[in-house]
């Protein structure tokens, strides 16, 4: 004979700030609560009073009294001086994120369970003698699986086993929607797993019934008296019950599957007396499935995030590790994508002993596709030689490649600088760079062609200027001038020119930093929507 422990004294269910729960039995009265040692219930919180409250019996009631505590005693959110506690009353102590209590009258929890599951003959030790104890055991098995199992399949199998135990059905199937059909996720009988093929009822018919009858429904059939044509489920079956599984976060509720139970032996209502419990099991199964779906989404997002982080590291590694800071050409550069990866890039590399090349590019779009286009451009410009015409030839080949393959378009500023100060460049739709004479006013190099890959009949040509010692060239992407402050105003070309003019006597590294500082101060931490690239070159003869 099984037995249940029934409490004949009250108790407090204690929840600490970390969410840990324990039960504190009240064995003697008055029962005291406070932070000082010696209290029956020790409140481990410095904000609690040393003697905060006490529980006593008065005329058969359990009365909680505030002992003039500093922060007070609250029952169900209301501050009290004295109050007779009822079963389930929530007790708190006037400060958030601390210990909370739930009062339990003697035996109330197990009496409630006994009533729910139809147990009888509950004595002082709580014995149960009728045949409904397996119903309680089935539900407790599900609760145990929810608390201890890391396997979704194990939990769903426990749910299905509990449903079989509650209804005495022969077979149970847990079916989940996939597109416009149902797939068997679990198939069980009282003796264990079943093959998926044991589900004789066509799944599309179950799905049709669910669409017309979204609530739990039972059906009974007598093959000797009813024609199979009178019901979609009359396939040598005597009883069927279907409990929909729904996504609880949607409105209206979205059906995600069904808990299907049937019997070929006895014609009766399988859900009779158990509908509420069956629907509770369905809710638990739905919750497990929804949590699994959210976890899978989270893992997928994490994988994407890790892959993008790797791509970002790879893209950053393609930028020059060092830039020349001595000799006749010096440079300072910076590039920051608005997302994990972006379509901007810059490079400065030596072509020959007396030649350097510089490139700044901006591929249209954002994210991974733009980053792939930028990588393609970067590789193409490594073939530049000491002839100024090689700049134009490279841009023309890229343009033809982009047009033939329907690629994105891109703006490019590429330049070839020699030891004598010759600055040859091709501007394919890019922002006009600033030429900054030493202690002079900045001016733009306006000689732009069409962007690479944008129009069919694009013509590209090579511009030229001569650099004096101390001259600097500021090359940037439109993400710099399009940077926005919290009010949505753009940094703009005018502000950029003013910053350059204010630091016209600075070497390239200081001028570069002054521009970045001005943009950072202007944007005031606002997240930007475009990649930002800045390259400053300085010629020193």
More confident site: 335 or 16: 335
pLDDT-derived band at 32 (thresholds 50, 70, 90) equals very high
Q: 496 CB contacts (<8 Å, ≥6 apart)?
A: 434, 474, 476, 480, 481, 515
DSSP state, residue 433: P
Give CA 501 to chain center in angstroms: 46
In sequence order, the β-bridge partners of residue 533 are 335
In angstroms, rounded to a whole number, what is the distance separating the alpha carbons of residues 434 and 512? 12
How much is the pLDDT for 6? 34
pLDDT-derived band at 117 (thresholds 50, 70, 90) equals very low
**3-class state of residue 387 by DSSP:** coil
In angstroms, rounded to a whole number, what is the distance separating the alpha carbons of residues 382 and 374? 13
Q: What integer best gives the mean pLDDT of the chain?
A: 81
Report the share of the chain in percent with pLDDT over 90: 36
Q: Which of 250-264, 365-379, 450-464 has the lowest mean pLDDT?
A: 365-379
Find tokens 């399949």 and name the residue: 153
Six token digits for residue 439? 């202690």
Q: Which of 2-11, 106-115, 244-253 has the lowest mean pLDDT?
A: 106-115
What mean pLDDT comes out for the span 425-432?
A: 96
Q: Which of 116-130, 140-154, 296-310, 379-393 has the lowest mean pLDDT?
A: 116-130
pLDDT, tens only, 165-220: 888 888 899 999 888 888 898 899 888 899 988 887 788 878 877 777 667 766 65
More confident site: 36 or 379: 36
Closest C-alpha among 99, 32, 39 to residue 67:
32
What mean pLDDT comes out for the span 107-116?
A: 41
How much is the pLDDT for 337? 85
pLDDT-derived band at 116 (thresholds 50, 70, 90) equals very low
Residue 427: which H helix or E strand, with range? strand 422-428
What mean pLDDT comes out for the span 471-491?
A: 95
**Which own/partner contact pairs does 355-358 have at CB distance under 8 Å and 24+ positions apart?**
355/386, 355/416, 355/417, 355/418, 355/419, 356/324, 356/329, 356/416, 356/417, 357/381, 357/384, 357/414, 357/415, 357/416, 357/417, 358/331, 358/414, 358/415, 358/417, 358/475, 358/535, 358/537
More confident site: 26 or 274: 26
In sequence order, the β-bridge partners of residue 490 are 484
Q: What are phi and psi of 247, to 5 degrees?
A: -85, 110
pLDDT, tens only, 361-417: 998 876 676 777 777 777 788 888 999 999 999 999 989 888 887 767 889 999 999
Find tokens 């029952």 and name the residue: 75
DSSP letter string, 278-313: HHHHHHHHHHHHHHHHHHHHHHHHHHHHHHHHHHHH
Does pLDDT of 314 surpass 80? no
Task: Quote the pTM value.
Answer: 0.52
The count of residues in the chain is: 541
Spatial contact of 255 and 244, defined as CB atoms under 8 Å apart:
yes
């Amino acid at each position: 004979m099984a037995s249940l422990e029934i409490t004949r004294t009250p108790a407090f269910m204690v929840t600490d700030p970390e969410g840990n729960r324990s039960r504190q039995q009240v064995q003697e009265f008055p029962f005291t609560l406070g932070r000082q040692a010696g209290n029956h219930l020790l409140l481990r919180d410095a904000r609690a009073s040393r003697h905060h409250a006490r529980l006593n019996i008065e005329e058969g009631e359990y009365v909680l009294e505030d002992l003039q505590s500093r922060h007070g005693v609250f029952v169900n959110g209301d501050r009290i001086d004295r109050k007779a506690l009822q079963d389930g009353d929530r007790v708190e102590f006037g400060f958030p994120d601390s210990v909370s209590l739930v009062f339990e009258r003697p035996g109330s929890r197990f009496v409630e369970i006994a009533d729910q599951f139809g147990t009888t003959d509950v004595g002082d030790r709580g014995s149960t003698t009728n045949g409904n104890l397996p119903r309680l055991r089935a539900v407790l098995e599900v609760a145990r699986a929810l608390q201890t199992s890391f396997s979704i399949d194990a939990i769903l199998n426990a749910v299905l086993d509990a449903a079989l135990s509650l209804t005495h059905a022969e077979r149970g199937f847990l079916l989940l929607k996939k597109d416009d059909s149902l797939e068997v996720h679990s198939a069980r009988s009282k003796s264990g797993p079943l093959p998926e093929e044991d589900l004789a009822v066509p799944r599309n018919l179950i799905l049709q019934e669910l669409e017309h009858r979204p609530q739990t429904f039972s059906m009974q059939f007598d093959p000797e008296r009813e024609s199979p044509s009178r019901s979609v489920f009359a396939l040598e079956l005597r009883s069927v019950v279907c409990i929909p599984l729904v996504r609880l976060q949607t409105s209206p509720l979205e059906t995600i599957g069904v808990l299907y139970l049937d019997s070929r032996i006895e014609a009766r209502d399988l859900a009779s007396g158990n509908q509420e419990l069956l629907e509770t099991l369905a809710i638990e199964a739905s919750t497990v499935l929804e949590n699994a779906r959210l976890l899978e989404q989270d893992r997928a997002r994490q994988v994407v995030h890790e892959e993008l982080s790797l791509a970002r590291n790879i893209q950053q590694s393609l930028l020059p590790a060092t830039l020349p800071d001595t000799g006749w050409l010096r440079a300072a550069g910076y590039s920051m994508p608005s997302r994990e990866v972006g379509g901007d890039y810059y490079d400065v590399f030596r072509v020959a002993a007396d030649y350097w090349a510089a490139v700044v590019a901006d591929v249209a779009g954002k994210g991974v596709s733009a980053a792939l286009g930028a990588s393609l451009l970067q590789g193409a410009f490594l073939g530049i030689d000491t002839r100024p015409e090689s700049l134009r030839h490279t841009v023309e080949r890229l343009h033809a490649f982009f047009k033939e393959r329907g690629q994105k378009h891109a703006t490019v500023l590429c330049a070839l600088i020699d030891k004598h100060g010759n600055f040859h460049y091709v501007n394919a739709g890019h922002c006009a760079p600033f030429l900054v004479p030493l202690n002079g006013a900045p001016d733009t190099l306006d000689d732009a062609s069409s962007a690479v890959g944008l129009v069919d009949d694009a013509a590209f040509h090579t511009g030229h200027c001569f650099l004096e010692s101390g001259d600097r060239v500021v090359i940037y992407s439109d993400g710099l001038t399009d940077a926005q402050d919290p009010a949505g105003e753009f940094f703009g070309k005018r502000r950029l020119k003013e910053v350059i003019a204010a630091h016209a006597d600075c070497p390239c590294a200081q001028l570069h930093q002054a521009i970045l500082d001005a943009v950072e101060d202007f944007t005031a931490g606002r997240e930007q929507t475009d990649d930002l690239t800045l390259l400053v070159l300085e010629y020193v003869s």
